């Protein structure tokens, strides 16, 4: 049975106050003539109201319409460069493109901050400081490669990487080439096995499917792993229990994470707390997750709805994006005194809709 650890009401109130103050600061920044983002400055002029005056907290984000991905797709980068960042080199990261044309997000340091804040939460006995990491996740235009390497550096270690293009796997699966997809997965696993056998690696990030496939080739504790971060796709409670108890053999620490290019990194409560349902909490106040109904209103706790993301950083203001995911709304917890999202899965799964996630 689940045994949640509720948050102190005073901590919940303090977190809400901090969020409201952060929202005011980010709106003031992105709508300022000196530091604002050109897209939002034009938007405000056309909308006929001044967010710097009228947005006083998180509830006022509802004054904005749901974020339209078309605002980013194909738009010139200049539209999304804050005026005080003009002339500064930046990274360009892409979303996975699971449900359409990938989105591009610009980043100066955003892709590092959440991971630096998350790093101290990892237990030293499972993720020893100074240890090498294997990042067995997507490379290419995704922020994950640099962000996870930064996490390893924050823990005093280094990171090894392998080549992985999940878009190619999804193309194979969409074409019905299951054998080709399996061959590509075997190719990725072989890279991981080579590194694990020839380098002293204690920690790893990977996806659920790759973790299971890797365990068919080697014993995770026998190759020296002591902790694994797992993310990148939906994991139901049965899958989580299998990965934690069987694949990790009860000896390697299993830690779930949830994130994407548009949000950053969300931490999870201990998987045993919710009977192996994974419950994530956004890196608030830099990002806010809500679980909403068709009218955009929060669903009751324990109810499933669509995930809505607002990202609120000095580099990127993105209110109310409806994600490709659905989840159960979960209450604040002791470690994260704001709402969480549980049992995340592709939107429409409950209605029978299929989403190709590939090696994710």
pLDDT averaged over every residue in the chain? 92
pLDDT at 304 over 70: yes
Mean pLDDT of 34-52: 97
Query: What is the full DSSP assignment across 194-240?
Result: HHHHHS-EEEEEE-HHHHHHHHHHS-TTTTT--EEEE-SS---HHHH
Q: Within 13 A of 186's CA, how many CA atoms are on the CB side?
A: 6
CB–CB of 342/317 below 8 Å? no
Stretch 308-332: mean pLDDT: 96
- For 82-106, what is each residue's pLDDT tens digit? 999 999 999 999 987 666 678 899 9
Residue 74 has a pLDDT of: 81
Peptide bond into 141 cis (omega under 30): no
Can you give the pTM of this predicted structure?
Answer: 0.90
d(CA 116, CA 150): 7
pLDDT(359) > 70: no
Task: Find, among 96, 152, 106, the residue nearest to 128 by Cα.
Answer: 152
pLDDT at 360: 46
The C-alpha atoms of residue 196 and residue 160 are separated, in whole angstroms, by 10
Give the whole-angstrom CA distance, residue 173 versus residue 220. 28
Over residues 121-169, the pLDDT tens digits come to 999 999 999 999 999 988 888 888 899 999 999 999 999 999 998 889 8
* Strand ranges inside the chain, DSSP E: 91-94, 104-107, 132-136, 159-161, 201-206, 227-230, 253-260, 264-268, 279-281, 287-292, 304-312, 317-330, 340-346
Crossing angle (nearest 10°) for helices 166-174 and 178-198: 150
pLDDT of residue 138: 86
CA 1 to chain centre: 27
- The Cα-based distances of 295 to 30, 156, 306, 326, 328 in angstroms read 27, 46, 11, 15, 16
Mean pLDDT along residues 240-259: 93
Read off the tokens for 300: 């009751």
- Residue 76's CB is within 10 A of a number of other CB atoms, namely 9
3-state secondary structure of 84: helix
Q: How confident is the model at residue 258 (pLDDT cuts 50, 70, 90)?
A: confident
Q: Which domains does the chain have, with CATH numbers?
A: 89-339 (3.40.50.12780)
User: What is the rounded distance in angstroms from the CA atom of residue 3 to the CA atom of residue 105?
Assistant: 38
Measure the CA–CA gap between 60 and 51, rounded to whole angstroms. Answer: 9
Q: According to the model, what pLDDT value does residue 3 have?
A: 77
d(CA 280, CA 258): 7
Mean pLDDT of 54-62: 97
What's the mean pLDDT in 163-181?
90
Is it the case that residue 190 has pLDDT exceeding 80?
yes
Give the model confidence (pLDDT) of 325-345 as tens digits.
999 999 999 999 999 999 999
């Amino acid at each position: 049975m689940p045994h949640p650890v509720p948050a102190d009401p005073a901590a919940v109130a303090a977190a809400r106050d901090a969020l409201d103050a952060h929202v005011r600061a980010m709106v003031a920044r992105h709508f300022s003539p000196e530091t604002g983002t050109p897209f939002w400055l034009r938007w405000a002029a056309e909308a006929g109201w001044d967010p710097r005056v009228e947005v006083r907290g998180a509830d006022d984000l509802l004054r904005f319409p749901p974020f339209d991905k078309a605002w980013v797709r194909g738009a010139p980068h200049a539209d999304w460069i804050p005026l005080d960042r003009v002339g500064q080199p930046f990274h360009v990261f892409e979303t996975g493109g699971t449900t359409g044309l990938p989105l591009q997000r610009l980043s100066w340091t955003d892709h590092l901050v959440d991971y630096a804040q998350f790093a101290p939460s990892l237990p030293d006995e499972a993720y020893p400081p100074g240890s090498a990491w294997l990042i067995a996740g997507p490379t290419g235009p995704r922020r994950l490669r640099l962000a996870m390497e930064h996490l390893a550096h924050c823990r005093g270690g280094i990171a090894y990487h392998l080549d992985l293009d999940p878009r190619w796997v999804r193309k194979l699966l969409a074409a019905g080439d299951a054998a080709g997809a399996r061959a590509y997965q075997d190719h990725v696993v072989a890279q991981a096995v080579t590194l694990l056998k020839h380098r002293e690696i204690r920690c790893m990030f990977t996806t659920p499917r790759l973790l299971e496939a890797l365990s068919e080739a080697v014993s995770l504790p026998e190759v020296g792993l002591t902790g694994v971060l797992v993310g990148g796709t939906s994991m139901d409670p049965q899958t989580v229990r299998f990965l934690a108890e069987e694949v990790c053999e009860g000896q390697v620490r299993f830690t779930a994470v949830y994130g994407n290019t548009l949000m950053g990194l969300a931490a999870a409560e201990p998987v045993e707390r919710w009977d192996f349902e994974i419950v994530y909490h956004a890196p608030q106040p830099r990002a806010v997750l809500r679980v909403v109904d068709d009218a955009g209103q929060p669903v009751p706790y324990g109810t499933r709805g669509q995930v809505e993301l607002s990202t609120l950083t000095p580099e990127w203001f993105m209110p109310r994006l409806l994600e490709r995911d659905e989840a159960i709304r979960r209450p604040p917890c002791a470690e994260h005194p704001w709402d969480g999202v549980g049992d995340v899965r592709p939107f429409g799964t409950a209605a029978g809709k299929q989403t190709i996630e590939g090696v994710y």
